[in-house]
Chain A
Amino acid sequence: MEVHEAHGETTVVVDTPRLVDAALHLRDELGFNFLSDVAATDYLGWGAKGVSGYIGTARGRDLNEPATQGHQRLPRQKPHRFSVSYHLLGMRAGAPRVRLQAWVEDGEHVPSLVGVWPTADWHEREAFDLMGIRFDGHPNERRILMDDDWEGHPLRKDYPIGGEPVRFSGEE
């Protein structure tokens, strides 16, 4: 387990097998009774070509490459391709928040937290639908926003924008 502090927010990174234990501990012992959100992120290509295809280099400032302004660097490497962030809130004075985070590779599963917070139901379905993350023990793991027979997971970085074929009116 690792704990990071950044921008005034606390992130607790746990290994996936211990996710349910961590969630129960946060809910029952530390009073984070409210699950705000589940956000999955795909880090495919993160920092691969400098910053967002920008002219940053790992060495930093390069006079031969303009617009680096001496501040460029590659973003910090991520442990795995996908992160799943659970944003928790304690409904009490001070409104403490914490981000519980798990990291997985493509094809790895995450234990479902529907048993801990029922609201995770649709959030996890959305993460499965748009990002292709599988949740073990989810009672109703189906697509939620896309059609049931949709292929691919649109929010992945290797899913092209505008990849949907368009049939123009008037065409046979």
Chain B
Amino acid sequence: MAVAPERPRIYEGTRIPSPTPSVLEVREDLRTSEDVLTVNFGPNHPSTHGVLRLVVDLHGEEVVGLAAVIGYLHTGFEKNMEQKSWWKAITYAPRIDYLSFQNNELVFVLAVEKLLEIEVPARATWMRMLLAELNRIHSHLVWLGTAALELGAISMFWYCFRERDRILDLFELVAGSRMHTRYFQVGGLAEDVPAGFWDECAKFVEVMPKAVDDYEGLVDRNEIWLERTQGVGLLSADDAIALGQSGPVLRGSGVDWDLRRAEPYLAYDQVDFQVPVYQEGDVYARYRVRMEEMRESVKIVEQAMRRMPGGPWIADDRKVVLPPREELHTSMESLIHHFKIVTEGFRVPEGEVYVTSESPRGELGCYVVSDGGPKPWRVKFRAPSFVALEATATCMRQALVADMIAIVGSLDTVMGEVDR
């Protein structure tokens, strides 16, 4: 476990720029050269996955300077969540990272539950895990489709979105909406899983591994794909840790670290899955990690389906959880509690917690402070995309301008999450 004792020699020493780790400055001897051209890339460029702006200094084809400029998608989620009751604040969490919405929703709900010390029924825990894994596949599919598209493999996009649509159909079946499902409630799930879900999910589990074979068939032995991804965007294990990298970027640099296994949450300690690790630290290694993670996620979904416990799907705590709908017609107390929870919101004991989960992009953390009232005092998300972008300058050392698209794409950033 943890870091392998013999770390791969991707390069000697460190490549993190100094003094500012996220800014690659033009070398002394080139600074006065008239051959250095400063190019503004973005913020409105199709391959920036949102609105990322890179200020790039070029010496011929070589990138000699780079600074990332972010903030174009800043929407003040954290400020807004402070103004909403805990119950309503859940709605904001999935919108932060619009590709792994359920993972964001999950980590916020887990943080509130940790403060409340509320017991979540087993069925809700397993269903959360199942949906989080479907969401991981969904996120990786969007990454694969768009990253391949940017490198010229157009057909990949159609194949990936075919399977992505099947996952969104499953989400629609469960939660009624395709994205931003808001299906996780403090204490469990918003509703029980509809009966028709299991058949559809079983069909998907059967189809998905074959689909991953298809994707690999499309690009894995494609000369152009290999040429453009192998040996490009190098990041060593030590640099990745120093730069706070997590998720597929970290595992693509040879660090065997996955929070689902290192500090198991939900029921991840009860299912079998492998953590893929690649030693090369390049774009290709990150691609390989994500491909294998999709296969592993399918395995987890399959196990969760097979072993899904019955029973209640939400905790029986009337001070936090809405009473069942039918009771509102017969029980005065239920009606009062329903009214109080909806209008004022439930109160969460005073305290501060930091809860983490392994989102498709890496360590997704949620720091929550409560003053004991019905609204969060402070919510802070540790966004893995935000941290991943810090590594751009290190990965772009000695890169060519054409590799920039491949490298930035391989970090899999979602700008909504970067800027929050």
Contact = CB atoms under 8 A, between A and B. Distances in A.
Contacts of A43: 377
Interface in B1-24: 1-3, 16, 19-23
Contact of B22 (A72, A121, A130): A121
B244 A54 contact: no
B71 A146 contact: yes
B74 interface: yes
B369 interface: yes
Contact of A91 (B3, B70, B78, B419): B3
Contacts of B389: 122
Nearest to B69: A144
Interface stretch (A18-26, A102-110, A112-120): A112-120
A154 B351 CA distance: 23
Interface residues of A, number: 53
B375 interface: yes
Interface string B352-373: 1110100000010101010111
Given A76-B350, A117-B244, A118-B21, A91 B257 contact: yes
B382 A161 contact: no
A93 B389 CA distance: 28
B382 A37 contact: yes
A161 B83 contact: yes
A151 to B, nearest CB: 15
A39 interface: yes
B224 interface: no
Contacts of B375: 52
Given A36-B363, A39-B380, A56-B372, A139 B19 contact: yes
B372 A75 contact: yes
B259 interface: yes
B196 interface: no
Contact of B371 (A47, A119, A147): A47
B353 A161 contact: no
Nearest to A52: B373
A37 B243 CA distance: 11
A33 B21 contact: no
A61 interface: no
B21 A35 contact: no
B74 A145 contact: yes
Nearest to B257: A91
A67 B343 CA distance: 13
A161 B363 contact: no
Contacts of B351: 6-7
A93 B1 contact: yes
B20 A121 contact: yes
A33 to B, nearest CB: 6
A46 B377 CA distance: 9
Contact of A36 (B20, B114, B356, B390): B356
Contacts of A134: none
Contact of B244 (A35, A53, A139): A35
Given A37-B382, A75-B350, A121-B22, A51 B241 contact: no
B354 A117 contact: no
Q: Which of B3, B354, B365, B375 has the largest number of chain A CB atoms within 10 A? A: B354
B387 to A, nearest CB: 6
Contacts of B353: 7, 9
30 contacts: A6-B352, A7-B117, A7-B353, A9-B353, A9-B354, A36-B354, A36-B365, A37-B380, A41-B377, A43-B377, A46-B371, A46-B377, A51-B373, A54-B347, A87-B367, A87-B382, A91-B255, A92-B3, A93-B1, A94-B263, A95-B262, A95-B263, A97-B354, A117-B244, A119-B243, A139-B20, A140-B22, A144-B71, A145-B420, A161-B79
Interface of A: 6-7, 9, 11, 33-37, 39, 41-43, 46-47, 51-54, 56, 67, 72-73, 75-76, 85, 87, 89, 91-95, 97, 99, 114, 117-119, 121-122, 126, 130, 139-140, 143-147, 154-155, 161
Given A46-B371, A92-B2, 15 more contacts: A7-B114, A36-B365, A37-B380, A39-B354, A39-B378, A41-B352, A51-B371, A91-B255, A92-B3, A118-B244, A119-B390, A139-B20, A140-B20, A145-B419, A161-B80
